[in-house]
Amino acid sequence: MTGATGIIADRQFRDRMCGIAVGKVLFDEPMSAHTSMGVGGRADALIFPDTVDMLGELVSFLLKEGVPFLPVGNCTNLIVKDGGYRGVLISLEALQGLEIKKKGEGAVEGRDGVGVCVHAQAGVSFSGLVDFSVRESLAGMEFCAGIPGSVGGGVKMNAGAWGREMKDVVASISILDAVGRMRNISRRDLVFEYRNLDLPDGAIITGADFHLARGDRGAIRERISEIAAVRRERHPLAYRSAGSVFKNSPGCPAGKMIEEAGLKGLRVGGAEISEKHGNFIVNRGGAKAADVTVLIDTIRKRILDERGILLEPELQIIGNEP
């Protein structure tokens, strides 16, 4: 029995979709098995294209059939509502290319004209990229240590920490646009905002070039260890979460406002506002997406009432109510 609705529940449609060699296909897939928070209803389909060409074929097929779709990375900033997602979630996890580009291979130089250009496909994890940088003695990616996302999701979110963001290291990105064309966009044409990269509607990031500098491997390792230690001290890493729930407002971090409102420790179902860090909601076991969204609404209302500030979620919430 499937919970999929509309065209995706149709066997002939499924056969046609599987027939275009799209890579691994999971129908009616519980997203709680994929989100870092461990919550979320079923996606009609979760598909893992093996190559960029397969991704292109899949997107063309879905556009032609009129099926909604959305790219996902490591699902570490994502809440899928308990009613699930009606359409296809496309995971780029299988796109794992990672290499240093040589001059003359289309390498994009940084603003200062020196450095090394690393190309990573969208499915490469930040931990993989950070490890690669250490192996190659490349400085610049250290701030990503401990961010559990992927290159695709991280660039889209303009992920950042310790005063640095993706915008400081991205030299160009490749996208598949909404009509199924591959395009490269260089840094000067990219509009990065706080925790967002403004992309053309429907664009999927397939990879990015990063501008890094030759550095000292020991110093790079040391900086990463420092960052890991601070993360262990400040973040509730013993529980599943989706990272920071809200964007920080100018002047006062969201976590501090939540702490000062006395909301730390507040629990709804299996979800709890972390005792360790006010801007994290953690899954204490058996949480539903609705438990998380009730906590989010409660925090927003309280901070609005007390301070006149409407907190903006950093988490991406998708899907339907049950």
Ligand X SMILES: Cc1cc2nc3c(=O)[nH]c(=O)nc-3n(C[C@H](O)[C@H](O)[C@H](O)COP(=O)(O)OP(=O)(O)OC[C@H]3O[C@@H](n4cnc5c(N)ncnc54)[C@H](O)[C@@H]3O)c2cc1C
Provide the annotated active-site residues: 195, 244, 314
Are 125 and 146 in contact, with CB atoms under 8 Å apart?
no
Are 55 and 92 in contact, with CB atoms under 8 Å apart?
yes
Nearer to ligand X, 107 or 173 (CB): 173
Which residues share a beta bridge with 117?
101, 211
Are 271 and 281 in contact, with CB atoms under 8 Å apart?
yes
Residue 311 sits in the site that holds ligand X (CB under 6 A): no
Return the range that interacts with ligand X (CB under 6 A); candidates 109-117, 132-140, 150-158, 258-266.
150-158
Residue 161 sits in the site that holds ligand X (CB under 6 A): yes
Encoded tokens for 20: 């275009």
CB of 214 to ligand X, least distance (A): 25
Nearer to ligand X, 133 or 150 (CB): 150
Q: Which of 23, 40, 115, 148 binds ligand X (CB under 6 A)?
A: 148
Nearer to ligand X, 13 or 131 (CB): 131
Residue 72 sits in the site that holds ligand X (CB under 6 A): yes
CB of 255 to ligand X, least distance (A): 12
Q: Which of 160, 180, 255, 319 binds ligand X (CB under 6 A)?
A: 160
3-state secondary structure 93-156: CCCCCEEEECCCCCCCCCCCCCCEEEEEECCCEHHHHHHHHHHCCEECCHHHCCCCCEHHHHHH
DSSP 311: P
The SS3 call for residue 76 is coil
Binding site for ligand X (CB under 6 A): 36, 70-78, 92, 122, 147-150, 152-154, 156-157, 159-161, 204-205, 235, 241-243, 316
